[in-house]
Each structure stands twice: as C-alpha cells, then as structure tokens.
Structure 1
Amino acid sequence: MMKSQVELLCVLIIMSGGFAQSLKPRRSVSFSGVNLKLFKKPDFDGLSSLLVREDIGLLFIGARGKVMTLRLDDITEKTSEINWMVTSREKALCKVKGRSIEECDNYITMMHTQDDGKILVCGTKAFDPTCTHLMFQEGKVTMEDSFQNGRGKIPFKPDEKFASLMNGNSLYTAGSINFLGTVTFFQRHGKPSLRTEQIWSWLNEPTIISIKFAEISKHSNNNEDDSVFLFLTEIENRNQRNKLRLSTVARVCKSDLGGLRILQRKWTSFLKARLDCPFGHEGSESVVQDVFFLQDENNVTDSIFYATFTLSSKPSSTCSQSAVCAYKLSDIQQVYRGNVMSATDSGSWCINDEMRKENVRTSHDIPDRTLMFVKNHFLIEQAVKPISGRPLLVRSMVQFSRIVVDKVTSLDGQQHNIMFISNNSGWLQKAVWSGDDGGRIIEELQLFQDPQPIRFLQLSSRSGQLYSATRTAVAQLSVRDCSRYTSCADCLTARDPYCGWDRLRGLCAAVAGASNLSMIQNLTDGDVGICPNSHWSTKSIDIHLTVDVAQFLPCSPDTNLPISWSFSGNILEPGPRHILLSQGLVLTPSFTDEGLYTCETVEVVKGREHRMAVILYNIKVSEDIHLVGKEFSKQDWGY
C-alpha cells in the first residue's frame, strides 16, 4: 500500500471515531534547521535516567556504568564523570543466570534529590540492584563509598518500565521486585513501609507509567490528606481471556500507615479508576504512554494531568494514532468519591475531618470489617473523563511518547499551557490548546538526526530550556526561540505564546520580560493589521515561456500551510492549462496567460483568512523556443 493510501486510511479511521481530522503541524523543521545543543560521545550509550538540578546548574545523566554532569546552560560542556562499573566476577555470575553481556552491566536507572541535597542513585548492577548517594560540595560531584540493597526500588532488568517519586525523603516506587520481573508492587519505602496487596486484581499484569504527588491538604476544605497517584496500564479484571489492556489511575494517601490487623504494611487507601481517552475507531484501546502534572499554585484541585496515548502498543502498527488527553485533579477526586465496583459503598478512604469525627485519625483506627471490604473493593465504577470530554489533539502516523507542559504568560497577562510532546522517531511537537479553537500544533522539530525514540523530557521553566534524551544522545532546546518566524505576519499568525514582534528591533522575539510598548502579539486571531507598515515586498521573477510548452513553477513555503495561486490578482482555478499541485503549478501557456502569477500560503484563524506571498512569477510568452533575456539560476526558481 502506498504511503498516501495509508495516510488516507488513517484519516478515515479517525473520522469514523468522531473526529474531523488529524492535526497537522503548522511548520516542520528538520534537524539542520533547529537551533539546539547536542551532547553525544563515541563511548556514551545506555542512557537510562535524567535529573535536572536548577539549584546548582547541572544536568545529571545516568547511563551504562557511569553518571555524568553537564552544564544546564550549555550541555556540550561536561563538568564531571563518575564511573560505577560492575566487576568481572559480578558480570560472570550474571551471565551464568542466563543474561546477556549488555544486560549484565550497571545501568543507572534512578536518581532523586533528597531534602539534604544528596542524590539517591540506584543502578541495576548486573541484575543485583544497588543504591548509593551522590554529593555536590565545593563545585565537585562525589559518590559515597557505602552501598545499600536496591531490590524493590528499581527492577533487575535495565529496560523494564517502572516509576519512582521522591517526596521529601519518602521514596515511592512501582515496578517488579524479583529477578524474573513477574512480581510487581506499588510501595513506599522507609518507616512505615507500605505496598500493594499481592493479589492479581490489585495490579493485573501492569505496565507502569508514572507516579505523581498532589498536595491536596494545602487547599482542602475538610483537611483531606495528600495523595499519591500511580498511572499504569493493566489487563481488565473482567476480560482475562481477551487480554484487553486498560489505562488506569490508582491513588493512595500520604499519611496511610497500613492496617492494624487486616492489611498490615499494606495500603488501606488504595483505589483505582479507568482513565478514558476516546479517539480512534470503536473498540480500539487507548493506551497511556506518559503523564505530566501541571500544578496550579492558587488551588491545587485545579491542577491538570496531561497524558499521551496511543491506539496500539505495537510500534510496527501500519496506521498508528496518538492523542493527548488532560484530566483535572478535582474531576479525579470526584470519581474516587463514587461507588466501587460490585458494591454501593463509596470510595475515598483518605482521612479527612468527617472521618476524624468518627474517631478515625489514622488508618490504624479503621475497623477490620471496613479494611476487609477495602481489600476486595478498590475499583471505582465510573471512569475518569478528560477535560471537554475528548482529546486535546489527535495525530495519525505518529507514536507519541513523552510529554512536558510549560505555563506561559502572554503580553496581555493571560496564561497559556504549552505542550511539548515527543515521538518514537526523534521529533518534538509544540502544541497549545484553548477552549475557543481547540488544539493546534504550532510546530514540530527534529531533535535527533537518526530516527529513534525520545526516552526522556525534562523542562527547566526558570531558564526556558528543554532537555531531551535518547539512549545515546542528549539535546538542549530553548523553548523561547522565536527566530524561525522571519516576518511580522508570520510571527503573529503563528500565535506562539512565547513570541511577539519587536517593533524596535524589527524581529520576532521572546515576550518574557518584554514591555507592551515595544512588543506586539495577537493570540486571539493572529491579526496582522497591527504589524508596522513595511516597504518590503516579494520581488517577482521574470520567466519566458513558449506557447503550449508545459513548465513547472515551484512554490515551497517553509510552513505546512496550503498554497493558493492567483493570476493578475484573481484566484487561479484548475484547468487544462493550469495544473495546481501541492508544491507548485504546471503551466501550459497561451498568449493570454501572460502576467503576474503569485503563490501564497492560506491560513484561516477563527474565520479570518491570512494570505502571505511565497513567490511571484512575471510570465512572458512567445512562440520562439529560445529564452529572451537572462539565464536563470536555481535561486531564481525559488530553490
């Protein structure tokens, strides 16, 4: 099947699911056109963790057998390297257990900053998980010479999916705890340590995605406890035969101490609900891939979880589709207050003022009968629905992976949430969503020259830098780079919340910290009428053609916008002498076809049509096959 046929098929599938079309980026920028910094070394591979430390200006990279630090403002400068290798004996013992040479190295898969500034770092250590600490003192990074057992904190296998979160000095993890990777727990380490019950229905063949913490008590009306959320996919309990994989969000309470007799050292507050992201054809599975938690500083319950989904977990799927869905924390809380499956009792279980009135001050005070019910009734009937009831954006022929979100203040004081979404081919989508005109992809950027999955995305909002990584390279990108918008019209119609037109300097620049007196921006409809008057105009190219001899006139805008042709000021319609193509015009002229041909991009924003000239041809027609006038170079033809 041809590529165009596959794309058409994907569009039809999306339309059958109730969505008009798959969003297309306004602009696509290949690797050579992206202004970024790249860290890549011949002996560097197996990158398995990433940690941003804004307080000391360093990016920590965990890889195979080493931890490196790079400068946050310029990752091409390495500031330290600490080797943490396995011994030949450890590697030999690992190989005896049936593991490959590559698996038997030490992959640094987890790094977290503690309250004392130390970094907890754990490595697979030849299938013998081990942890220690990194310290930063007097500008130097050192590693402690004492080590602890890391089993249960990280999986044995280097490439196995797991999640971890450090809150204060409390470590939460979700992943397999045994050599074969067959037993998975969601647990809190320390005192008291808690974990999920080892019942298949609590975690049914899970694929772990992410752990997030919400400080709910900060804005709770009834002093409800803080919550820890686990996002995962698992086999539906009621559909074991068909192995239907569902996306799920589970929740436990921070102050949970476990039960006194029932559920000892187990979560008493464990609840989970299905995560709904409706797109694609009926009966398809939307599988969550990554989650980013954007906290609202004024009211934590208004915080939003942004999640990427794909319709198939198989990268080889011919017609892959991806989406981004967003969920409000308050909506998730409301779902957890609903009925649990196969019972009319409501969920929640986190300690609040209502429970304290009943003398239930900790989980140790919960009656055994209630805990026995909790143990067997933890799945909420109602699914969590996304904001607006549908995805923020949908794309076909793309496999979304990671997502981070930045909150940006525009010149008018309004706030906008900018999504950065990576895919499995080394590209990054920059997108925004608003209730007025839905989701739109401002641009997509190729961050890595070789097609490969982007495994990590970390954002430093303070400096406006985005850090992405594959297994073999790290890229640094300024999210406030506005240099790709080369004119005022392009700058404004792109409606990029980061960017505005600087009237004094005559260029598109970041609006952060800028004054309304010198900058203009229009995110509502991209009206270019507020642009300063410009005497610049596109110069026409004189072309001499011969009657009835077909000639291709190329038009290649630097955006993905559709093009339109006009002839002597009138829209050019297709005909025997005018064949309109996506990249140009085939003209078979007569003497009446002499005149000015203009190729323009056409962009419609909230009913307002914006046209920008790309190239102009001044066509002269004669019977003589020999050209009159100058000879033309590739530059003359718009190449």
Structure 2
Amino acid sequence: MALPTLGLDPWSLLGLFLFQLLLLLLPPTNAGGGGQEPMPRVRYHAGDGRRALSFFHQKGLQDFDTLLLSGDGGTLYVGAREAILALAIQDPGVPSLTSMIPWPASNTKKSECAFKKKSNETQCFNFIRVLVSFNTTHLYACGTFAFSPTCTFIELRDSYLQPILENKVVDGKGQSPFDPAHKHTAVLTDGMLFSGTMSNFLGNEPVLIRTLGSQPVLKTDNFPRWLQSDASFVAAIPSTEVVYFFFEETATEFEFFEKLRTSRVARVCKNDVGGEKLLQKKWTTFLKAQLLCSQPGQLPFNIIRHAVLLPSNSSAGSQVYAVFTSQWEIGGTRSSAVCAFSLENINRVFEGKYKELNKETSRWTTYGGPDIDPRPGSCSVGPSSHKALTFMKDHFLMDEQVVGVPLLVKSGVEYTRLAVETAQDVDGHGHVVMYLGTTTGSLHKAVVSGDSGAHLVEEIQLVSDPEPVRNLQLAPMQGAVFAGFSGGIWKIPRANCSVYESCVDCILARDPHCAWDPKSSTCRLLPTQILEPWKQDMKRGNPDWACAIGPMARSHPPPRRPQIIKEVLAVPNSILELPCPHPSALASYHWSYDTAKVPGASSTVYNGSLLLLLHDGVGGLYQCWATENGFSYPVVSYWVDSEDQPLALDPELAGIPRERVKTPLTRVGSGAALAAQRSYWPHFLTVTVLLAVVLSGALILLLTSPLGALRARGKVQGCDTLAPGEKAPLSREKHPQPLKEHRTSAGDVDADNNRLGSEVA
C-alpha cells in the first residue's frame, strides 16, 4: 500500500531508499558560528582570480623588509637583503625595476660574523633596516652588515639610485640592530634621525638615540635602567615638539607576576640638548608610560606589534592606531586587538603624576612630593637645573596608564603590521580604513564604524605557504597597498568593487571605496568627485533603502525576484547537486521550494549545496536565500525538471532571463564558476548491485542455516547409532564427547518411524 500512497514506482522507491542511505553516510555539516567576533565578509584564497594582485620579485634577492614611498608617490624604494631597489609604481600592474644598487657585507665582516658563532646562511649578511628620505637628493640607509651595523647616504638622480661611495659609509651602532631578528624603529624629522634598537652584539642593551642634524647626539642612560634589557621597539612617531616611541618590555612595577610583559609609549623632546654636568649626552626629557589595550573582564593585550599615526586637522584629534597580541593563549590560540589612542590623552598622562621606586621596599609608588618648576620632562627652553635632572633620573615612569579604545578583537589571528587611511563616502563623511597583515601571510581590510567598533570587509591570502607580512606601505595616488615578504612584494588594490555583482551585495559590503552606480548597474570604485547619485549606506548597510527604485525610495523596496534562472533538466532517479554560492561569510543561507520548504524526504543540504533526488513531484523552482543584516535576497535560482515530462515554467517567472543546464550540477569551489556536470545514477546502480549481493548472501545464510541443523541432527540420530548386535569398531581411540546436549521434542521419530525418548545425547 506504500507505492500507491507515495505515487512511486519500484525503481523510484529503491532510489529514494538509497538516497536516504546516502544521507546517513554523509558526514555532518558544521553550522556556521554566529558569534559576536568580527569575521571577514569575503575571503580570497591564494591565487583566487576574483582578486587581481601583482607580485614583484627579483632573482637572487630576498627579504624585502623595508619600504619607503617617494615624496611624489611615484617610486617605491625597497630595502632587501644586501640590495636597495627603486620601483616605478605609476602604471597599473606589476611594479617595474628602474634601478638597483648592491650593498653586501664585506668578506671580512662575514668571516668575523661566522667566527662569533653566527650563521653564514641566515645571519651574516647586510639586512637593510633603516631607509628614510633625508632630502630631495639623498636617502639615508642603515643595515646590519653582518653584525656590524653600518649607515650611508645614497644619492638620487631623477629617482635613480646612484652607487654607494666608500667615503659615505659610517658606523651605524645605535641606528640599526646587530641581529636582523631584533625589532627596531627609526624616523627622520627636522633633519634628525630618532632610532630605537639594540646597541650591542649580545642584544641586551636597548637604546633610544638621536643622530644626524645639528643637535648633539643623545641617548638613554643605561645605569638607572630607563629601558629593560629585553625592550623591543616597534614604531616611532614624530609630533610638533616631541617624538613618541612605542615598544614593549618586562614590567618592573608589578610584583604579582614574574616576567609580565607590558606595552609602553616613551617621549623625548626634539630640543633636548642633554645635561651639563649630570646626564651629559643623555636625554633629560625621557618619560615613559604604560599602554593599556583590553576589554572589560578579559586579560589585557599586553604585547604591542606595530603602531601608526593617523593625522587630523588638529593635534587633539590625531589618533595612534596600534595592534596588540597577548602573552597568554586562550583556547590554545593567540588573539589580536587593534586599539586607538588619542595624542591628547597621551600628552595628558605625560603631564600627570610620576611614579618613584622606594629603595627600601623595592616597590613603585606614586610620587607625592613638591612640584618642580619648570616641570621635569617638559620641552622648556634652556638647560634644566641640577635638581630637575636629579629628579628625572629616578622619576621617568608615569603613574597613570594610557588607556586605548578597542576597535577590533580577533581570536586565532596574530597581526604583525598595519596601515591606516581615511576614506570618504558618497555623503562626504570620513571613515577610517585599516589594512592589517598577519603572521600567516594574509591581509585584512577593516573599516571603523564609529563607536560600534570595526567590521572586516575582506581577507586576502597573499601567499600559499604561510609566512608573516614583513611590512606594509600605502600608496594613495595608486590606490594600492604594498606588502613586503621574504620573496618579493605584493601590490594589492585597496578595493575590489567588481566582485559585488548586485546592488544588494554592494551595499551590504559597507566598503567606503565602493558604491553602486545606478546608471551602469555596477558596483564601482568611488571617484574623487561624484557627479552622479551613487548609492551607499555605510551606517546601516540597508539595501531596502539604498537599492530602492523610484522617487519614493522607502515605499518601493528593491525587487527580490531572481535575476536569472538556471534550468536543470535531468534523468529521473538521479541526484542533483545544486550549489549555492556564498557571497558573504556573514549571511545565513536556506533553500526554498517554490514558496514552501524543500521536501525533506528527497533532499538535504550538505556544505551549502542542495542534494535532490529527482522523481515525480519534486520539480519546480528551487532558490538559495541569503539573510544578512535583516535583509533576505535570492542568491541563485534553479528550475528543476525531468527530461521525460518537462514542466511548464511558472507564468510569474516570465521575463526573467534563463540559462539552460542540460545535466545535473556539481558543487561550486571557492566562488568559481559552475564546474562540469555529472549524474549520480551510475553510483546508484553500483550501490544497488552491492546492496543486492549483500541481501542475497544474508538471505542464503538464513535459508541454509535451518537445513544444516536438520541434516546434522539426522546424521547424529541415524549414522552414529549402532544397530543391535553390531560391534564397536576395533579402535583404541575414544570418540569425542559432544560439547553440549541436543534436546529434541517428544514428537521426534527415528528412521524406523519409532518415537524417540525425551532426550538424546
């Protein structure tokens, strides 16, 4: 009675049974997490054709670590291992090499480096660590020079690098690290070079030093331990009167932790001339404070990795953006955070109270003594008094912390570098855009959304083999970001608007560089001057409003009809695998059949694709819907039909373009186009044959088991019972005893039709 009820013939019923068996064998699909942590909306794998990238490399060169953009924005200077390059970046595509000068370490220095137990394969080279623009005609560069830091001036002629002259090479101790693995920072401002690095071969004497220019050379004092021996510098940011250094070191003011790392910001004045008798050739304005980047109730992100300044029209509005990680692992993985610090807040902390070390208890407490005028550490004109210098030797740590605002917190990711810029939307409002490099060779693009934090627009995997991003350099005139790696430099356009094929997708992306052009019906890169009413909604990301048609915008929402219908004609009792592209990782997806749910008995969703067993009554319109930010829209639409009895297309779908697909579809991989089609009917035939063989074997076993028992019973009763008067065989061997008793019923009879007893052994 099941066949008439289901309306299926035996073959269809068998196919349905095997389909359900296939569903049991499929591994479970993990549901996408809908947590609060930001996720990249679009992901591009290495080599993905949807994201056009350019890669520059040069045979024999590696470690493209240091990047410098020329003043006119048309040339990118690169410091690699034992070479300095000049790349022309005005034209689209791969940057072209205009000039290159070698700067290898001498054979003598390499021999000394190897003699000191350093590696000839990875360490005893000249790694360029400082590359700054000294003026319009010269660059200033420093390198490790096989653990013998060296600096030189490089002449420029029409952006072409001139060979290095021997008489221009000077000692670079304190300006470049000895070890290429040590972190460092350097910035040139007002003709003076401010550097933070390790100043000795062992790498345990950090120093903040000022060189070049007309001012005397100044550095930090090692005796009062202004810097801990493991200090690691990541950034130097100049301001009007001071220079800020960002670094991390072991905290000495906390006693409840051993080896607690902490992030710092230090400040020195540009007009500092050092002391006359006390602190000669030393900073007299050195102050440092703790940076705090944390979420309420969570462990702090206490290790700073990089920091950049985003200038503003006013000094108070300038923000420092920094990436942090934590020395603690949560759940076996490390996390990263991006925090913003205002220069106004940093200066307020430096104008606050000091900490002092109690030598009797070895504890840091808040200084409560009288004020000194002029204030120690301030950029006052003229030399400081002996009293003020004595005070500065012991009161270099500020009492208050500089608290940052967490904009982005991401687990399972370690950010190494960042670049920040401001982008204007169609309404003229500015949005902070951050480009974040990771330890695995990815680039994240994040947009700060006011007080609500930041959202990740995309993730681009730049290299197939994971390695950290060495450096990032923005090129605003080219609209690109350059990323340095061990093997070359990637040029990444800062936006990929063409990947958003519909107005809905373009608006939901909330990329300030992209807007929907109604005239051309494309998502385009936003020009400098907008002449047409292009569409964007950076605040809400609401396609209902931005993609509306007609003057009454809110009363005419965007159409949610399919843009194109894919017609699928397949043989009966075959499995269709209908793929659903996922344009957004933030959306949730579901399938619909006409206006109802898909039939559960003959379909299932696996890895986003719809597996459908085609038989009578399951044809019609199948749509995969995406729901994001409260808005639902169809991603793909299929009209499924049988080759034997085609159905007429629904009149309501008239006028929608159709694309004929003659055979069942397969999955879509990584956003690529539809792959070659295939039918699952041969697989079902194979499974059917195997299942029939198994069932036949089981049936034979079931049927033969009772016959074998009866034959064995007859053999015991007939052949093994001796007739009266018959002797036993002449053998000394004992007959084996039965393992157990065979019980028979009282109605059993022997071969002579005589009834047996109740038990026979």
TM (norm. structure 2) is 0.72
Query: Equivalent pairs: percent with the same residue?
Result: 29
Asked if the contact 1:253–1:350 (Cα under 8 Å) also holds between the matched residues in 2, the reply is no
Residue 312 of structure 1: how far off its partner (Å): 3.5
Name the aligned partner's letter for residue 158 of structure 1: P
Partner of 1:219: none
Asked if the contact 1:545–1:619 (Cα under 8 Å) also holds between the matched residues in 2, the reply is no
Larger of the two Rg values belongs to structure:
2
Asked if the contact 2:292–2:301 (Cα under 8 Å) also holds between the matched residues in 1, the reply is no
Residue 466 (structure 1) aligned with residue 488 (structure 2): no
Partner of 1:76: 95
Partner of 1:189: 211
Residue 118 (structure 1) aligned with residue 141 (structure 2): no
Deviation by residue 1:246-270 (Cα, 9 ceiling, x = unmatched):
1111111221222233222222222
> Residues 346 and 468 of structure 1: is their aligned pair in 2 closer, same or farther, counting only changes over 3 Å?
farther
SS at match of 2:389: helix
Name the CA distance, whole Å, in 1 between partners of 2:531 and 2:373. 47
Residue 338 (structure 1) aligned with residue 352 (structure 2): yes
Name the CA distance, whole Å, in 1 between partners of 2:565 and 2:261. 58
Name the aligned partner's letter for residue 477 of structure 2: R
Residue 92 of structure 1: how far off its partner (Å): 1.6
Residue 141 (structure 1) aligned with residue 158 (structure 2): no
> Residues 98 and 334 of structure 1: is their aligned pair in 2 closer, same or farther, counting only changes over 3 Å?
same
Asked if the contact 2:376–2:388 (Cα under 8 Å) also holds between the matched residues in 1, the reply is no
Flag structure 2 segments of 5+ consecutive residues without an equivalent: 1-26, 356-364, 550-558, 646-660, 676-761
Asked if the contact 2:579–2:665 (Cα under 8 Å) also holds between the matched residues in 1, the reply is no
Name the CA distance, whole Å, in 2 between partners of 1:258 and 1:634. 74
Partner of 1:86: 105
Name the aligned partner's letter for residue 615 of structure 1: V
Residue 345 of structure 1: how far off its partner (Å): 5.3
CA RMSD of aligned residues (A): 3.5
Q: 1:559 aligns with which of 584, 594, 604?
A: 584
Partner of 2:637: 616
Partner of 2:266: 250
Name the aligned partner's letter for residue 147 of structure 2: F
> Residues 635 and 105 of structure 1: is their aligned pair in 2 closer, same or farther, counting only changes over 3 Å?
closer
Asked if the contact 1:85–1:106 (Cα under 8 Å) also holds between the matched residues in 2, the reply is yes
Asked if the contact 2:73–2:475 (Cα under 8 Å) also holds between the matched residues in 1, the reply is no
> Residues 345 and 486 of structure 1: is their aligned pair in 2 closer, same or farther, counting only changes over 3 Å?
farther
Partner of 2:222: 198
Asked if the contact 2:562–2:637 (Cα under 8 Å) also holds between the matched residues in 1, the reply is no
**Counterparts of 1:346-385 in structure 2 under 5 Å?**
361-362=381-382, 364=383, 366-385=384-403
> Residues 325 and 574 of structure 1: is their aligned pair in 2 closer, same or farther, counting only changes over 3 Å?
farther
Name the CA distance, whole Å, in 2 between partners of 1:616 and 1:106. 59
Name the CA distance, whole Å, in 1 between partners of 2:239 and 2:352. 20
**Counterparts of 1:308-323 in structure 2 under 5 Å?**
308-312=323-327, 318-323=332-337
Name the CA distance, whole Å, in 1 between partners of 2:129 and 2:459. 29
Name the CA distance, whole Å, in 1 between partners of 2:282 and 2:582. 60
Name the aligned partner's letter for residue 195 of structure 1: K
> Residues 280 and 38 of structure 1: is their aligned pair in 2 closer, same or farther, counting only changes over 3 Å?
farther
Name the CA distance, whole Å, in 1 between partners of 2:605 and 2:623. 13
**Counterparts of 1:28-177 in structure 2 under 5 Å?**
28-32=43-47, 33=49, 34-55=51-72, 57-74=74-91, 75-102=94-121, 103-138=123-158, 140-145=160-165, 146=167, 147-177=169-199
Name which of structure 1's ranges 397-406 and 138-147 shifts more when overlaid on structure 2: 138-147
Q: 1:537 aligns with which of 554, 560, 563?
A: 563
Asked if the contact 1:538–1:613 (Cα under 8 Å) also holds between the matched residues in 2, the reply is no
Asked if the contact 1:115–1:168 (Cα under 8 Å) also holds between the matched residues in 2, the reply is no
RCO higher in 1 or 2 (8 Å CA, sep ≥ 6)?
1
> Residues 112 and 346 of structure 1: is their aligned pair in 2 closer, same or farther, counting only changes over 3 Å?
farther
Name the aligned partner's letter for residue 537 of structure 1: Q
Residue 585 of structure 1: how far off its partner (Å): 3.4
Residue 570 of structure 1: how far off its partner (Å): 4.5
Name the aligned partner's letter for residue 601 of structure 1: A
SS at match of 2:390: helix
Partner of 1:457: 472
> Residues 477 and 397 of structure 1: is their aligned pair in 2 closer, same or farther, counting only changes over 3 Å?
same
Name the aligned partner's letter for residue 366 of structure 2: A
> Residues 284 and 343 of structure 1: is their aligned pair in 2 closer, same or farther, counting only changes over 3 Å?
closer
Residue 235 of structure 1: how far off its partner (Å): 0.4
Residue 31 of structure 1: how far off its partner (Å): 2.6
Residue 99 of structure 1: how far off its partner (Å): 1.6
Flag structure 1 segments of 5+ consecutive residues without an equivalent: 216-225
**Counterparts of 1:472-621 in structure 2 under 5 Å?**
472-528=487-543, 529-531=545-547, 537-542=563-568, 552-568=577-593, 570=595, 572=597, 579-587=604-612, 594-604=619-629, 609-620=630-641
Name the CA distance, whole Å, in 2 between partners of 1:610 and 1:299. 40
Name the aligned partner's letter for residue 172 of structure 1: F
SS at match of 1:291: strand
Name the CA distance, whole Å, in 1 between partners of 2:253 and 2:401. 15
Name which of structure 1's ranges 22-31 and 499-508 shifts more when overlaid on structure 2: 499-508
Asked if the contact 2:568–2:663 (Cα under 8 Å) also holds between the matched residues in 1, the reply is no
Name the aligned partner's letter for residue 459 of structure 1: L
Deviation by residue 1:445-464 (Cα, 9 ceiling, x = unmatched):
12233321101001122332
> Residues 213 and 350 of structure 1: is their aligned pair in 2 closer, same or farther, counting only changes over 3 Å?
farther
Name the aligned partner's letter for residue 467 of structure 1: F
> Residues 586 and 312 of structure 1: is their aligned pair in 2 closer, same or farther, counting only changes over 3 Å?
farther
Residue 325 (structure 1) aligned with residue 326 (structure 2): no
Deviation by residue 1:105-164 (Cα, 9 ceiling, x = unmatched):
222211111135310011222222111111111453203412111111111112211111
Asked if the contact 2:577–2:664 (Cα under 8 Å) also holds between the matched residues in 1, the reply is no
Deviation by residue 1:491-533 (Cα, 9 ceiling, x = unmatched):
1221110111223333222213242425322222233344376
Name which of structure 1's ranges 402-411 and 562-571 shifts more when overlaid on structure 2: 562-571
Name the CA distance, whole Å, in 2 between partners of 1:506 and 1:351. 65
Residue 101 of structure 1: how far off its partner (Å): 0.8
SS at match of 1:520: coil
Residue 60 of structure 1: how far off its partner (Å): 1.1
Name the CA distance, whole Å, in 1 between partners of 2:381 and 2:530. 53
